[in-house]
Every structure is written in structure tokens, then in C-alpha cells.
Amino acid sequence: MRKPCALAPANVLEALSADPDVANPAFPYISRVRITVPCFTETVKSGVAGNTATPTALLERLARDPDCAVRRKVATNKNVPAGILQALQNDAEPAVKTSAMMTLQAPRARP
């Protein structure tokens, strides 16, 4: 079996991960494997975390990522559920806390 990384070049995953206008093939691909697989660079994880089309289950996983830059991207995602933002307000990293508080205070679209 091929490594998950061999299925798409990193630069393609990076570009797709941040594009909410694409029917994003990276989401089901990334959610089927561990998001911490080394080929999923910080750039890919950050792109997915900040993408407004990212599914809630994947945002929940990314909100617990060891990289604070990825957690901060989750905290700035305008479509992240309030529960995830509330949890991120308790993050050890001040930038993540601040981003979560600011996103919670911003006007939110109603479904």
C-alpha cells in the first residue's frame, strides 16, 4: 500500500487546504488518516484549520494539535462552532486564547 503522502504532492494539498471554493478532496483524505502524519505539514494543517468549509469533527481534532499555529488558525476560522472556541479560550498559548475570544465576540452568521 502506498503512503498517504504519495497520493498528492504537498504543494497541491497546501493549495487545496486553504481554498473554500473547491470541493475539497483533502478533507476526506486527511480525516481518514491521522492528521499528524508527517507529510501533512504545518501549512496543510493550518490551511485546513482556517478553511471555512472544514467539517466540525476535523476542526475538533485540529483544535488539539500540538502546533499552536494550527490551533490559532482554528480559533480564527469564522465558521468554527462556539464550543470549540470556548475550549480554545483556555489554551496555554496567549495568541490562541486571544484569537478565540476575538472570534467569539465577532458577529456570527446564523444557520
State how many domains the chain has: 1
Question: Is 47 domain-assigned?
Answer: yes
Question: Is 111 domain-assigned?
Answer: no
Which of the pair, 18 or 75, is modelled with greater confidence? 75
Question: Is 63 domain-assigned?
Answer: yes
Question: Is 90 domain-assigned?
Answer: yes
- Report the pLDDT value the prediction gives residue 25, as an integer from 0 to 100: 52
Q: Inform me whether the pLDDT recorded for 37 exceeds 70.
A: no
List the domain range (segments joined by +) for residue 94. 9-105
b/e per residue 18-48 (b: at least 16 CB within 10 A): beeeeebebbeebeeeebeeeebeebbbbbb
For residues 76-82, average pLDDT: 93
- Report the pLDDT value the prediction gives residue 74, as an integer from 0 to 100: 96
Q: Inform me whether the pLDDT recorded for 71 exceeds 50.
A: yes
Question: Is 96 domain-assigned?
Answer: yes
Question: Is 65 domain-assigned?
Answer: yes
Question: Is 99 domain-assigned?
Answer: yes
Contact of 73 with 49, CB cutoff 8 Å: yes
